[in-house]
Structure 1
Amino acid sequence: MTGNAYDLWTPAHRANPRPLYARLRQEAPVVRLVEPVRQAPFWLVSRYEDVVALLRDGRLAKDSRKLSPQRRSRFFRLSQDALTRHMLNADPPDHTRLRTLVSQAFTPRRIEALRPRITALASGLLEAALAQGSVDFIDAFAFPLPVIVIAEMLGVPVEDRDPFRAWTHTLLVPQASGGLERIKEAGENFVQYFTSLLERRRAEPGDDLVSALLAAEEQGDRLRANELTGMLFLLLVAGHETTVNLLGTGLLALLQHPEQLERLRADPGLMDTAVEEMLRYCSPVETSTTRFTVEPLELRGQMIPAEEMVVLGLLSANHDPEVFAEPERFDVGRTPNKHVGFGFGIHYCLGAPLARLEAAVAFGLLLERAPRMELAVAPEHLEWRKSAFIRGLEKLPVSLG
């Protein structure tokens, strides 16, 4: 099966992707599709067993420099090289080296130390939203909370968050970007911004992650120029994007399952399992980032040639009935819950502890201070982001009572 017989970008699929993924798992668990904006072909894998196996399979590479120049130019003709040289697009030993440089900032202990600051930020945003009564939850809360946290960690001016949001949206949602030139322009804006930021931090170091990365570079810790820019891009974008979508889709899931909302409100001890269930059921990262076959690979009777792009369906895997009992049931107490919402293997999301903490704090405050919150529009009127990579809402109008 080739082409877009299974179209991931229709409005109906964006509103509810689960039925199409159920079809794919049954009819075409390994299928070749074409991304509509860049017209790039890729293979989509949708069953949990296969997704987990391929997330740790050495026959799939992340570093696009392993591709022949012709294949690389076909897949990446609009990419900014300075934005792609980060650990998510690296294989060992480069991946190990890059991850080691930043991993100390994201240990569970260091993230837990951020709880008072995250609680204070979330409390202030919620109080402002409660004063308005009815708000767009994404604009009023889900976006500013994680972007302020990661901006403060990096030492990036928080007031620059609106340009970040626009550039990130263009790069992550190319179907709604307005064309290929807009994608290229957004990448160039990021490169220019981070180049200027690095120059300022070299002149005036601070107590932040950017300054720490620069210090590591100056001490000969094997950080190359493009890797600095790429790492900042990854940390800023990944540091808020997943949490924005987790907060938005997680709140929607609670509002659409009032019995689970009341169960969680009655037993706050379920918060950790509730957040894990949001990561499974909503899967704010719908598909993995791109991998490439370094040699031919046979899977489910399909032969994938060398130098082909492969994408793994995380949301689909998280709803595989072979692994999850009643996968379409939203259950805040679900256990065990072996979801792949943060990926798996060596590229498992470094910021997972931060996203979990932000979500737990946010939903704890919402349940406590907004007992009468409800959707302000019918669910069918919600607008979903036009991306098969991320799973999120453009807006979430709510009444906070």
Structure 2
Amino acid sequence: MALRPAVVELLEISPDFVQDPYPVYAKLREQGPVHQVRAPGGRETWLVVGHDACRAAFNDPRLSRDWRRSGDIGQIINADQDDPSLAHMLMADPPDHTRLRRLVSREFTPRRVEALAPRIQQITDELLDAMEARPERRADLVDAFAFPLPMTVICELLGVPELDRESFRGWSNEMVAPTGAEAEADAYAQMPRYLTELIDAKRAAPGDDLLSGMIHAVDDGGDRLTPDELIGMSVLLLIAGHETTVNMIGNGMRALFAHPEQLADLRADLDGLLDGAIEEMLRYDGPVENSTERLALEDVEMGGVVIPAGSTVLISMADSDRDPARFEDADRFDIRRDARGHIAFGHGLHHCLGAPLARLEGRIALRSLLARFPDLARDAADAQLSWVPGMLIRGVRELPVRW
């Protein structure tokens, strides 16, 4: 007979949950793969932990992402049910998801991503030049480098004017880690309003950017993205196109600073170790802690526990990638580890479309940063860091460094 467990208070297990959630997830995993939890902030949800259970949950069609058709969007987001910001493939199930991903994939191709490498290198070099010119030899690595690099790349890729990028930063922050209901609602109102004007301008005068390409993309059957879908896909690409890389760089550098022998090894053999190091950074402390919320379309039994129909479900990618059943000595950071099989970019049909771009940016950014600043170190290593709130994004708001 399936059980209905008591609600677990994550902050009661550990007051340090936001800074270090891994011991909490491990404790839950020892007890079973499914738990009803109360997150920091008070919201109740169901949480899936463990590598095998998480992979199975990602592939379970009973756990839906189509909140606009199947549920109440207010259960997870302070936005209207028909908000065009939500008309994208991450908020859809097949066959709609299949159709949207196919249309976007026609433009967001591996060739287009690889062609960005020289421009990514140029932006990287300019940002590092500005850092190196600081007479105090100190900077916030997030603000000076980890954020502006991927934000510049994704905005140039889509064709967003430079003057508008600071607005996007504010809207994106509120969408992935809201500071309040009013600010979240404002972001969901402002971003599609801006994008509607931008799309109209590009429809009248197309460029060679991705947004112009999506506007005019037509598949073999004559299908194309609707106006709402163009807005939704632009929102998704803008947010996912920089949040992952910002926190991959930030979390990766924190891990290297905390393991100086690994940092020294990487510096000594960038050509041989960098690609593997990036995969280990993604596994060990990835930029996305838990999946976006799923909706249980019916009662779902997992591991002897029933998740009731209508419930919100999170899949813990962070715990999956620290599961010792999949990765030996999983809590140890080891840049020589074979980290393949991690699910830092998700799993199944919602696997991140932008993963190749994030990896490309990570390779160029970390290689250039470590080569340019041989003495780079955490500044005030014992200082308290400010963490991104919520259970979606894993990362810090700033990372003071010196050289």
Secondary structure, counterpart of 1:389 in structure 2: coil
1:136 to 135, 140, 153: 140
Map of 1:231-270 to 2, 5 A cutoff? 231-268=233-270, 269-270=272-273
| Counterpart contact for 2:48–2:57, Cα < 8 Å | no
Map of 1:1-400 to 2, 5 A cutoff? 1-7=5-11, 12-35=16-39, 40-67=43-70, 71-76=72-77, 78-79=79-80, 81-132=83-134, 133-174=137-178, 177=179, 179-216=180-217, 220-268=222-270, 269-399=272-402
The 3 A distance-change label for structure 1 pair 395 and 77 is closer
The 3 A distance-change label for structure 1 pair 105 and 267 is farther
- Looking at structure 2, the residues matched to 180 and 2 of structure 1 have their Cα atoms a distance apart, in angstroms, of 28
- Looking at structure 2, the residues matched to 111 and 228 of structure 1 have their Cα atoms a distance apart, in angstroms, of 20
In terms of mean alpha carbon deviation, does 131-140 or 202-211 score higher? 202-211
Shift of 1:76: 4.5
- Looking at structure 1, the residues matched to 241 and 394 of structure 2 have their Cα atoms a distance apart, in angstroms, of 16
- Looking at structure 2, the residues matched to 8 and 134 of structure 1 have their Cα atoms a distance apart, in angstroms, of 37
- Amino acid of the residue matched to residue 115 of structure 2? A
Shift of 1:236: 0.4
- Looking at structure 2, the residues matched to 208 and 9 of structure 1 have their Cα atoms a distance apart, in angstroms, of 48
Shift of 1:221: 2.1
RMSD: 2.1
Shift of 1:7: 3.1
| Counterpart contact for 1:40–1:75, Cα < 8 Å | no
Q: Which has the higher helix share?
A: 1
- Looking at structure 2, the residues matched to 228 and 182 of structure 1 have their Cα atoms a distance apart, in angstroms, of 23
- Looking at structure 2, the residues matched to 155 and 104 of structure 1 have their Cα atoms a distance apart, in angstroms, of 17
Shift of 1:28: 4.8
| Counterpart contact for 1:9–1:386, Cα < 8 Å | no
In terms of mean alpha carbon deviation, does 245-254 or 198-207 score higher? 198-207
| Counterpart contact for 2:78–2:185, Cα < 8 Å | no
After superposition, the C-alpha distances for 1:237-282 in whole angstroms (9 at most, x for unaligned) are 0000100000111111111111111111111111111000010011
- Looking at structure 2, the residues matched to 378 and 387 of structure 1 have their Cα atoms a distance apart, in angstroms, of 24
After superposition, the C-alpha distances for 1:77-136 in whole angstroms (9 at most, x for unaligned) are 534621111011111111111111221444333322211111111011011111112100
Secondary structure, counterpart of 2:322 in structure 1: coil
List gaps (5 residues or longer) in structure 1. none
- Looking at structure 1, the residues matched to 395 and 108 of structure 2 have their Cα atoms a distance apart, in angstroms, of 24
- Amino acid of the residue matched to residue 317 of structure 1? S
| Counterpart contact for 1:8–1:14, Cα < 8 Å | no
Shift of 1:9: 11
| Counterpart contact for 1:254–1:260, Cα < 8 Å | yes
Q: Could you tell me the TM-score, scaled by structure 2's length?
A: 0.92
- Amino acid of the residue matched to residue 248 of structure 1? G
- Amino acid of the residue matched to residue 257 of structure 1? H
Secondary structure, counterpart of 1:210 in structure 2: helix
The 3 A distance-change label for structure 1 pair 318 and 379 is farther
| Counterpart contact for 1:107–1:353, Cα < 8 Å | no
- Looking at structure 2, the residues matched to 72 and 353 of structure 1 have their Cα atoms a distance apart, in angstroms, of 30
Q: Could you tell me the TM-score, scaled by structure 1's length?
A: 0.93
The percent of aligned pairs where both chains have the same amino acid is 45
**May I ask how many residue pairs the two structures share in their alignment?**
394
Secondary structure, counterpart of 2:295 in structure 1: strand
- Amino acid of the residue matched to residue 29 of structure 2? R
- Amino acid of the residue matched to residue 112 of structure 1? E
- Looking at structure 2, the residues matched to 357 and 364 of structure 1 have their Cα atoms a distance apart, in angstroms, of 11
List gaps (5 residues or longer) in structure 2. none
Shift of 1:365: 0.8
- Looking at structure 1, the residues matched to 170 and 303 of structure 2 have their Cα atoms a distance apart, in angstroms, of 40
